[in-house]
Chains A and B, each alone.
Chain A
Amino acid sequence: MREKNVMLLHYLSGVGILIFGGIHLFTVFFTRPLGETVWETTLLFEGHQFAILEVYRNMLLASSLWFLLLFTTFHGLNGLRVILIELFPNRAVRSATRYVLLFLGFALMVYGTRTIVIAHMIR
């Protein structure tokens, strides 16, 4: 892909993270009564109306989490690629980093998707 398009995706995924990350933060943090820790509320496995599992059971919220996963994986790993290009101005290292990061991104997507799907199905 041309560098121009990669960087365009970098900016767009950043905006995407702003939207879906906002939803994520809202469901995890802002539904919590002030003064109680998230450990007692959101992160309870069961027994509280805002428990995190509820978020995964909701189809819309679960898919918004998946988009957050996609955008953050791309944005984060592309950011690392940019920094590595600048730190190691060597063509061999540059192409090696590309494959390492592609593999890492693929692994993150597979593992994260599994978490979202399974958490969605736990009854």
Chain B
Amino acid sequence: MGRDPFQDRTAIVGIGQTPFGKGLADSELALACRAIAAALDDAGVRPNEVDGLVCFSMEDGREVEVARNLGLGDITFFTQVGYGGGAGCATVGHAALAVATGRCDVAVAWRARKRAARTSRPWSQVSERIRGHWQWSRPFGVLRPVDEIALLTRRYMHTYGATRDHLANVALAFRKHANRNPAATMHDRPLTREEYLAARWISEPLCLFDNCLETDGALAVVVTTAERAADLRHRPAYVHAYAQGLPRQHQVMTNYFCDDPLLGPSWVAGPKLWSRSEFRPADVPVAQLYDAFSPLIPLSLEGYGFCGRGEGAAFTEDGALEWPDGRLPTNTSGGGMSEAYVHGFNLVTEAVRQIRGTSTCQVPDAACCLVTSGEGVPTSALLLRR
């Protein structure tokens, strides 16, 4: 098979973020503008050079407002990606495809989110009657994303012998990484296995520490051509491979109504990603895996080919996810569970830091870094390389 024509043609050249917190005064739009301005400064690119914009369809501050506030130039490529946490890598991927095909020269992708925003917690809104596919779960008290994933988790534990200790391996690894990252919400909050096992339930078999954080904040990246990237100030994080995945007969979050519900979107995005890559899973020294809930990690490890089916929980044993000595240091900034939950966009910026060599849990000379988006929704994945 020939080399994928989009391999390494584009690069992330700037990253920016706001502080993370709860109850930040800024609007989502203001947060977005801060993060994008920071990313452009980081890249050394002028706002009037930006001609491409890609955002989440859930974004409150859309392209028009972002462009007017930041004083961007004429925008010639703009699009949005749906499905919440599944969209993060896809916004970068769409930006990269647009740059690689000459639809624009400098594209910005971003995510801003406030936990109090209506669009952030759709489950908390009582509507008169439930329509569409939600009417097959919500009337029975399956209200929140955590309940939806708890149902899949219980089945996964039953089928493959996964235990709460495996889920604790995930939570504790990411917390350790956050404890080294001054930007992380949980920077100064260590977590022990005893505290994990004693935590209150949210939706059995998932406890408090199996859940991501609730965060206000924003992040942005700047994507341009490999040629331009070579002239900018940071080591480029080349977009080596990109893929999306919407499996046959998939259903958003309530993926119970298909032949094999434990074969999630990563089983589609993963093989496609590797087919476009010079790297194989065994070549990947560090990963940022979408972690709205801890059980998504074993599911993703399987779908992205780091282990066989049903082996994802066992993969987490012996500190495998922990920096510096684990076989696959994962979510090295703390991820959604311990740094910030901004629909997984902080996983993208952390992957860029790993490529640059500036992570607070730096894997030496990381040749590439995998980033994934939501497992449980139509998803996307990126492989960045130096």
Chains A and B bind each other = no
